[in-house]
Structure 1
Amino acid sequence: MTPGSNLPLSAVRVAVDVTAPVRLDVSGLLLAADGKVRSDDDFVFYNQPSAPGVTHSAAAAGGDTITVDTAAVPEAIDKIVVTASLDTPGATFAGTEPTGTVRNADDGSVLASFTPPRLGTETALVVVEIYRRGGAWKVRAVGQGYANGLAGIATDFGVSVEEPAAPAAAPQTPPAPSAPAAPWGPPTGAPAPVAPPPAAAPAAPAPAPPAPAPGSGKVNLDKGRVSLQKNQTVSLVKGGRPVLSSVRMGLGWEPAFQGRSIDLDASVIAYGPDRKKVDNCFFGKLMILGGAIQHSGDNLTGEGAGDDEAITVHLGGLPPEVTGLVFVVNSFSGQKFSDVAKAYCRLLDAQSGEELVRFDLTHAEPRTGVMMAKLIRQFSGEWEMTALGEFVDARTVRGMTKPAAQAL
């Protein structure tokens, strides 16, 4: 399977084995229609090995198994998410390729297999999900990574995580995500239940930069505008809820050498869950997907000083088969990006014009194409933007289709 692909389940009872060359902690979360657990009882792991229709079993080495009896899963549960985190503190998935294998739990036959690609600073993953669709059950390959461990996954899905006491030493700046409390460490004695939240609210943190240091995980819009660095991700939610229905991506650049104009073209490529191109929007095709994506036109200055071209995306109008968008810029005339200065992209609320996210490309390469950013629809329904800044040799949007697919 590839990220985002899905298959119907031909067995009522399925076992999901997650294995790797290193020790993994494997968990399952039972999610309701709102994408959250109903309570901490819906979190299945080695210290809490069962919930209605879902069980955890430990393997001798490498990884564990989550077994789902779809006939016994409560009607209120829409999906079961299978996750994996590294057992060694501070370790990342860089160089480690975990594999999720879905088997018929009764006869052991393999139904599907998925290995998430291009892992790096992630310390925890959503590997696959078992979900209902039209009265039947299916499996979807996910491969979504988190840089703040299993605690990041757990809190995203509504599990209460007890934060450890703050150390005496001053924290790094910006603060790193807190490590999870006892339930996710190696078992050392009696089973520990998932802890309830602290009785008192923690003190308000000191102001921090809007984006974390590279590798410290995704951020959201709670603190206002976010300035991204390469490979950083921002979730387009505020206060736990999506805040946008339409966004505008403004792209701008200036010639690095005074007096020499540079004509660049901004485009967006829409992809499905199998990374196959659905359509692309550029100066020669200003509207696609029934008007859900619109281009401002070649060299037309958008709202706000500096934008050379702008692309508006009505997120709510995108068809379900569109799960990823990659924003690219090309030099049709063949001039290299090393001749370009101050290239940037910024994401704005299309209705209010408020700038939400900015990515300034400070280091250019002598190539003719660059992937600036991608927007990915999460299986929870929200969208995330990741700054890319990846250069390729391509002078047209057509030449960007394959490398952009690989960047998803």
Structure 2
Amino acid sequence: MTPGSNLPLSAVRVAVDVTAPVRLDVSGLLLAADGKVRSDDDFVFYNQPAGPGVTHSAAAGGGDTITVDTAAVPDGIEKIVVTASLDTPGATFAGTEPTGTVRNADDGSVLASFTPPQLGTETALVVVEIYRRAGAWKVRAVGQGYADGLAGIATDFGVSVEEPATPAAAPQAPPAPPAAAPAPAAPTGQWGPPTGAPAPVAPPAPAAPAAPAAAPGKINLDKGRVSLQKNQTVSLVKGGRPLLSSVRMGLGWEPAFRSKSIDLDASVIAYGPDRKKVDNCFFGKLMILGGAIQHSGDNLTGEGAGDDEAITVHLGGLPPEVTGLVFVVNSFSGQKFSDVAKAYCRLVDAQSGEELVRFDLTHSEPRTGVMMAKLIRQFSGEWEMTAMGEYVDARTVRGMVKPAGQAL
């Protein structure tokens, strides 16, 4: 999902998993038509894990889960907002991308997922909201950030938060209430609050900095072919439009000087938003995800010019539950990458044959597996490619699943 988008819910009971690389405190607030809780009982979190139709629990794959039984939500409740705040005092969401995954709570199937855009000084976030519209229930991606933590969100939605009292204003100085009242930071990002959501009150000059610009060093395809160094990222955008056509990841290698022929195997592992494997494509499984990913077949020697093995990805045809792809190479025979020369990967437009991105490994290690590159789907729908070049000890794609998932 993208910020502000919404989807009808096909399940009566839905679970919203909120996960991130760091520890989060996740909560759910039941809001009436005025955008406020009716009482503090409508604030569901780890210390108060149950409310009317809403529960809090630890997610199986890490993070926390807010489960909403829409049939049990009282008639006076119009929406349930799911929020996340950072567990570490003073920490911000800069560099952290929490993901909200909406599932059918009964069979576990994924209904939607949402990763908010680049975040900065925010310490709390409204991730998604489950809301009632014309008798039906829907989910909306929000991604609205606050700079004053969970207390700011709770106060904004009418929860009584016990905090140290601030000094009372002098009687002779009764300025306008908005200037003296604590207010959450202005919403971040390039969109306003969702329809029907209460707009946080902020001073005319917001204390929080403007939404961050594109990440430093990030480039796109507008100037032609991109050569990446290790850990560099390119956004697969050209002319302002995300690349959603078919691309081919070509992987090549040569035996090192005076080395014997070497049999390496290229594979790709597809992951969901929870960093769990969805499927993998390799020489023993040449097509996955209904043909959205296809493998060229096994090259047994590495001899000859050009790509040794190639994996074609129809970006526009990938199912929504696939949010990350990691391309790996393994030596099943046990030969080390120190016996390999000129290893590279390159992303090619599958229709025109134009080379878009290239990454050449500049060093090798005496290990049997290497993570070459990853493609990550962004909140806007575009994909980003990052050069990796990380070596591990794994002779098959099965041994790459865990380290590659951790590297996403």
TM-score scaled by length of structure 2: 0.53
- C-alpha spacing 1:254/1:200, structure 2 compared with 1 (3 Å): farther
Deviation of 1:244 after TM superposition, in Å, equals 4.0
Deviation of 1:306 after TM superposition, in Å, equals 2.4
Q: Distance in 2 between matches of 1:258 and 1:32?
A: 74
- C-alpha spacing 1:295/1:101, structure 2 compared with 1 (3 Å): closer
Kept in 2, the 8 Å contact 1:160–1:197? The answer is no
Q: Distance in 2 between matches of 1:79 and 1:243?
A: 35
Kept in 1, the 8 Å contact 2:3–2:141? The answer is yes
Q: Distance in 1 between matches of 2:385 and 2:167?
A: 33
- C-alpha spacing 1:393/1:86, structure 2 compared with 1 (3 Å): same
Q: CA-to-partner distance for each residue in 1:61-114, whole Å, 9 max, x for gaps?
A: 999999999999999999999999999999998999999999999999999999
Q: CA-to-partner distance for each residue in 1:206-225, whole Å, 9 max, x for gaps?
A: xxxx99999xx321111111
SS for the counterpart of 1:137 is: strand
Kept in 2, the 8 Å contact 1:32–1:38? The answer is yes
Aligned length: 401
- C-alpha spacing 1:144/1:236, structure 2 compared with 1 (3 Å): farther
RMSD (CA atoms)? 12.0
- C-alpha spacing 1:186/1:146, structure 2 compared with 1 (3 Å): closer
Deviation of 1:364 after TM superposition, in Å, equals 1.5
Deviation of 1:279 after TM superposition, in Å, equals 1.0
Q: Distance in 1 between matches of 2:59 and 2:393?
A: 46
SS for the counterpart of 1:84 is: strand
- C-alpha spacing 1:121/1:392, structure 2 compared with 1 (3 Å): farther
Q: Which moved more, 1:293-302 or 1:389-398?
A: 293-302
Deviation of 1:143 after TM superposition, in Å, equals 11
Q: Distance in 2 between matches of 1:326 and 1:261?
A: 26
- C-alpha spacing 1:199/1:84, structure 2 compared with 1 (3 Å): closer
Deviation of 1:327 after TM superposition, in Å, equals 0.4
Q: Distance in 1 between matches of 2:325 and 2:267?
A: 10
Deviation of 1:312 after TM superposition, in Å, equals 0.3
Q: CA-to-partner distance for each residue in 1:194-248, whole Å, 9 max, x for gaps?
A: 99999999999xxxxx99999xx32111111111111111111112112341000
- C-alpha spacing 1:226/1:18, structure 2 compared with 1 (3 Å): same
Deviation of 1:271 after TM superposition, in Å, equals 1.1
Kept in 1, the 8 Å contact 2:185–2:208? The answer is no
- C-alpha spacing 1:170/1:402, structure 2 compared with 1 (3 Å): farther
Q: Which moved more, 1:169-178 or 1:129-138?
A: 169-178
Kept in 1, the 8 Å contact 2:2–2:379? The answer is no
- C-alpha spacing 1:248/1:16, structure 2 compared with 1 (3 Å): closer
Q: Distance in 2 between matches of 1:391 and 1:291?
A: 29
Q: Which moved more, 1:279-288 or 1:72-81?
A: 72-81
Kept in 1, the 8 Å contact 2:13–2:69? The answer is yes
Q: Distance in 1 between matches of 2:146 and 2:341?
A: 33
Q: Which moved more, 1:360-369 or 1:76-85?
A: 76-85
Alignment-derived partner of residue 327 in structure 2: 327
Q: Which moved more, 1:381-390 or 1:27-36?
A: 27-36
Q: CA-to-partner distance for each residue in 1:19-41, whole Å, 9 max, x for gaps?
A: 99999999999999999999999
Kept in 1, the 8 Å contact 2:230–2:387? The answer is yes
Alignment-derived partner of residue 196 in structure 1: 203
- C-alpha spacing 1:213/1:192, structure 2 compared with 1 (3 Å): closer
Deviation of 1:377 after TM superposition, in Å, equals 1.2
- C-alpha spacing 1:212/1:230, structure 2 compared with 1 (3 Å): farther
- C-alpha spacing 1:237/1:304, structure 2 compared with 1 (3 Å): farther
Q: Which moved more, 1:123-132 or 1:356-365?
A: 123-132
Q: Distance in 2 between matches of 1:304 and 1:79?
A: 61
Deviation of 1:340 after TM superposition, in Å, equals 1.2
Q: Which moved more, 1:163-172 or 1:33-42?
A: 163-172
Identity %: 93
Deviation of 1:152 after TM superposition, in Å, equals 25
Kept in 2, the 8 Å contact 1:5–1:273? The answer is no
TM-score scaled by length of structure 1: 0.53
Larger radius of gyration, structure 1 or 2?
2
SS for the counterpart of 1:112 is: strand
Deviation of 1:305 after TM superposition, in Å, equals 3.9
Kept in 1, the 8 Å contact 2:117–2:379? The answer is no
Q: Which moved more, 1:138-147 or 1:58-67?
A: 58-67
Q: Distance in 2 between matches of 1:194 and 1:245?
A: 43
Alignment-derived partner of residue 402 in structure 1: 402
Deviation of 1:319 after TM superposition, in Å, equals 1.3
Kept in 2, the 8 Å contact 1:160–1:194? The answer is no
Kept in 1, the 8 Å contact 2:145–2:185? The answer is no
Q: CA-to-partner distance for each residue in 1:104-140, whole Å, 9 max, x for gaps?
A: 9999999999999999999999988999999978889
- C-alpha spacing 1:185/1:349, structure 2 compared with 1 (3 Å): closer
- C-alpha spacing 1:324/1:102, structure 2 compared with 1 (3 Å): closer
- C-alpha spacing 1:348/1:102, structure 2 compared with 1 (3 Å): closer
Q: Which runs of 4+ in 1 moved over 3 A?
A: 1-204, 210-214, 300-305
SS for the counterpart of 2:363 is: coil
Q: CA-to-partner distance for each residue in 1:317-369, whole Å, 9 max, x for gaps?
A: 11111111110000101111122111110000001000000011112221111
Q: Which moved more, 1:345-354 or 1:37-46?
A: 37-46
Q: Distance in 1 between matches of 2:80 and 2:3?
A: 17
Gaps of 5+ in 1: 205-209
Q: Distance in 2 between matches of 1:212 and 1:164?
A: 38
Q: Distance in 1 between matches of 2:171 and 2:228?
A: 22
Q: Which moved more, 1:1-10 or 1:362-371?
A: 1-10
Q: Distance in 1 between matches of 2:47 and 2:190?
A: 7
- C-alpha spacing 1:56/1:246, structure 2 compared with 1 (3 Å): same
Deviation of 1:256 after TM superposition, in Å, equals 1.7
